[in-house]
Amino acid sequence: MGRLFAIEIIYRGIFQKTLATRLSRSIVLAAHQEGKMGISFGRYGDSPERNGIPAKNFAIVATDEQTLQEGMAKYEPKQVDVTIAVDDTLCKGVESWAWYGLQPVNRLLKPGGTLIVTSREGPDAIIAMAHRKETPYNLAIVKGTVSFSGLWVYKDDHTDVRILGAIAKVLPDLFSLTSVQKVIMDQWKDAIKAESAARAYERIGTTTVRTDQGNPEVPYKFDFPKWHEMGEGIAIPSIPAGRNMEDPVSHVHGGFQPDRNPTFKKFSTRTMRPVVNFDTCIKCTLCWLHCPDSCFDVTPEGLYDANMQACCGCGVCEAVCPVKECVTMVNETEFGDNASQWEAWRNDKEGYQAWLAKKIESHPERSHGFRYRGQYEEQVPEMLEIARKG
């Protein structure tokens, strides 16, 4: 038997589909340049290509046909040499299959494998987001803003070729930079893109992540019911209606907090989250009415608290709010939990205002992706400048 290589590309459904497809296909084509054979394919889970839901593409490559056939016989790889996260917020966990719960971004990595992340953050920030792993692995960061190249639009910001150059550096047994550049010229006949791949190859470095580094929390998960445990009939238990909220300070009950799906938490969809200034809220109800996921809880005093377990980060609340900076979308990398903002405000209003100001002023600019429908041009010059300068 020969050598089998496996690479997974984790991306956000619809928003980054084209990018992931081009990456997985180009990995196989670059391997072909060196006499290897392979196949690329997608795995979407229970909710194919929904907005922002984590999804995966795989590239399976082997040194001979028999080894490739063995790799293809599996539904998907159980271990991968390289995991590519084209959005750094995916490092918080992946829930592409709702009934599995939250999967660590590094779950499939072999011992000593490499996690490649597109991000403007440094290694410390990425390591803190990713869950701990029982074996050491390597982290490589391709510097750049998140590329939203999906079903609606594709713009050449060089994210694809820069990641290919990085793969050639961290996994040289798979293919060389020369093979990557040959594929780029064959497909796109663009010497500048080939140069971007070379610059990524030269600049990429790796950081070893130890077993005691990373998020120590155990991701939530669910067990499949056994066939003999399933109830008779076709009735499905409904989600309860909900309940009043309790004020953490006065203990007054009021407002309304709906119950939500206990097995599907939409926060893994999010690249940005809303932060709310409760002191300037005029209780107009627009965020509550327009939220497509009904994630706002009505507090006893009639304010609206975004439930961070249910929020998908679409930004509609910010768009409809009539008060400046009452609702502001902030980069998800700035947060370490899904705690209630309203409870934090009620417990320490002065401290909350300082926290709020810091989040709004210091967060790096980015987008949640929902607004890109052929309006991607404004970000391309910035991405190309990053590709040139690193």
Residues 187 and 142 in one domain: yes
Residues 286 and 331 in one domain: yes
Please provide the DSSP assignment of 3-38 as one string: -EEEEEEEEETTTTHHHHHHHHHHHHHHHHTTT-EE
Average pLDDT over residues 362-367: 69
* Predicted local confidence at residue 52, as pLDDT: 84
Q: Which token pair is 370?
A: 């929902």
Asked whether residue 375 is domain-assigned, the answer is no
pLDDT tens-digit readout, 219-265: 888 777 777 877 776 667 788 889 999 999 999 999 999 998 877 78
CATH code (residue 25): 3.40.920.10
Asked whether residue 72 is domain-assigned, the answer is yes
Asked whether residue 18 is domain-assigned, the answer is yes
- Output Rg (C-alpha) for the chain, integer angstroms: 22
* Predicted local confidence at residue 366, as pLDDT: 73
Query: CA 178 to CA 169: how far, in whole Å?
Result: 11
Asked whether residue 372 is domain-assigned, the answer is no
Is the whole model's pTM more than 0.85, yes or no? Answer: yes
Asked whether residue 116 is domain-assigned, the answer is yes
Query: CA 297 to CA 343: how far, in whole Å?
Result: 12
pLDDT tens-digit readout, 20-40: 999 999 999 999 999 999 999
Q: Which long-range contacts (CB under 8 A, 24 or more apart) does 224-229 make?
A: 224/99
pLDDT tens-digit readout, 274-320: 999 999 999 999 999 999 889 999 999 999 999 999 999 989 999 99
Domain span holding position 148: 4-217+380-389
Residues 211 and 138 in one domain: yes
Residues 86 and 117 in one domain: yes
**List of residues 6+ apart from 238 with CB closer than 8 A:** none
Average pLDDT over residues 63-92: 92
Asked whether residue 373 is domain-assigned, the answer is no
In contact, 137 and 107? CB cutoff 8 Å = no
* Predicted local confidence at residue 48, as pLDDT: 58
Per-residue pLDDT for 107 more than 60?
Answer: yes
* Predicted local confidence at residue 1, as pLDDT: 73
Residues 288 and 199 in one domain: no
Residues 191 and 114 in one domain: yes
* Predicted local confidence at residue 382, as pLDDT: 67
List C-alpha distances in Å: 296 to 277, 293, 304, 306.
14, 8, 6, 4
Residues 27 and 167 in one domain: yes
Residues 41 and 175 in one domain: yes
Predicted confidence band at 213 (pLDDT cuts at 50, 70, 90)?
Answer: very high
Most confidently predicted of 83-87, 95-99, 332-336, 376-380: 83-87
- Domain count for the chain, please give it: 2
Residues 89 and 210 in one domain: yes
CATH code (residue 295): 3.30.70
